[in-house]
């Protein structure tokens, strides 16, 4: 069974942070937190991206799983 590893890219990570956290106000201006982190501390942003868990996609039906074994077993015929 073909299993595909799925890792978030920088844009997906930024969008995820923006969705999870409310905007932040700096000197009266509102910013999305993921975007602010990426611009103000790119090292911390990339560390957070590296810590994101890898997901696995079944190559047959394209369903996504958190565990590689689940993706491998997904469309196996018994």
pLDDT at 34: 96
Per-residue confidence (pLDDT) for residue 1, from 0 to 100: 59
Claim: this prediction has a pTM higher than 0.75: no
Every domain of the chain and the residues it spans: 3-73
Nearby residues of 5 by Cβ (< 8 Å), 6 or more positions away: 54, 55, 56, 57, 68
| pLDDT at residue 7, rounded to an integer | 83
Q: Identify the pLDDT of residue 11.
A: 95
Give the whole-angstrom CA distance, residue 30 versus residue 18.
12
Residues of the chain with pLDDT under 70: 1, 77-78
What was the pLDDT predicted at 25?
95
pLDDT given for residue 75 in this prediction: 86
């Amino acid at each position: 069974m073909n299993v595909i590893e799925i890792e978030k890219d920088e844009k997906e990570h930024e969008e995820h942070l923006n969705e999870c956290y409310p905007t932040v106000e700096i000197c009266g201006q509102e910013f999305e937190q993921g975007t602010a982190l990426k611009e103000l501390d790119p090292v911390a942003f990339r560390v957070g991206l590296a810590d994101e868990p890898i997901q696995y996609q079944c190559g047959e039906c394209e369903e996504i799983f958190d565990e590689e074994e689940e993706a491998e077993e997904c469309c196996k015929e018994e």
